[in-house]
Amino acid sequence: MDDETLEALRGFGGVWGRVEGRAEAAPALGDLAEAASRQCELLSALARVCPRSSAWLRRMASEEAALAARLRAEDFLAGGCGRAAAAACAVVRNPLCGLREAYNAASALGEALQAAANAAPCALRRALDPLAAGERRRACALRELILRAMCVN
**Mean pLDDT of successive 10-residue segments in the chain (153 residues)?**
54 48 67 95 95 95 96 87 71 92 97 94 92 97 94 81
* pLDDT (0 to 100) of residue 90: 80
* pLDDT (0 to 100) of residue 10: 52
Nearest to 99 by CA among 147, 151, 36: 147
Q: Is 133 exposed, middle or buried (0-12, 13-18, 19+ CB in 10 A)?
A: middle
Contacts of 147 (CB under 8 A, 6+ apart): 153
* pLDDT (0 to 100) of residue 29: 92
| Dihedral over Cα of 121, 126, 131, 133: its sign | positive
Residue 84 sits at the vertex; the CA angle it makes with 110 and 24, to the nearest 5 degrees, is: 40
How far is CA 120 from its chain centroid? Answer: 16
The DSSP secondary-structure symbol of 11 reads: T
| 102 within 8 A of 40, measured Cβ to Cβ | no
